[in-house]
Amino acid sequence: MLVADDHQLFIDGIRHILNKLDANVAITESNSAEQAIEIIESGHEFDLVLIDLDMPGMDGMSILKRMHER
């Protein structure tokens, strides 16, 4: 699972909730749109992606378009 959000508190909250539900969830985190693109373009595969739609530099929809192109 990839969680991309420029607010670390949100990422930490998602991680906490998911770890309580299932300790075997692998979470990759990104604090910026640019970092999310780098992670995606490096070949990582994710079953689920949570993306903040309003991040500095690039919006979440643009990230989704880049993912779809890959």
Residue 12 to residue 62: CA distance in whole angstroms:
24
List b or e across 12-47, with b for residues whose CB sees 16 or more CB atoms inside 10 angstroms.
eebeeebeeeeeeeeeebbbbbeebbebbeeeeeee
Higher pLDDT, 7 or 24: 7
Q: What number is the average pLDDT over the span 9-23? A: 91
The pLDDT value recorded for residue 57 is 82
Question: What pTM, to 2 d.p., does this model score?
Answer: 0.83
**Is 80 exceeded by the pLDDT of residue 70?**
no
The pLDDT value recorded for residue 8 is 96
Lowest mean pLDDT among 12-16, 27-31, 45-49: 45-49
CATH code of 55's domain? 3.40.50.2300
Count how many domains the chain has: 1
* Burial label, 61 (beta-carbon count in 10 A; 0-12, 13-18, 19+): exposed
Higher pLDDT, 61 or 20: 20
Boundaries of domain holding 23: 2-69
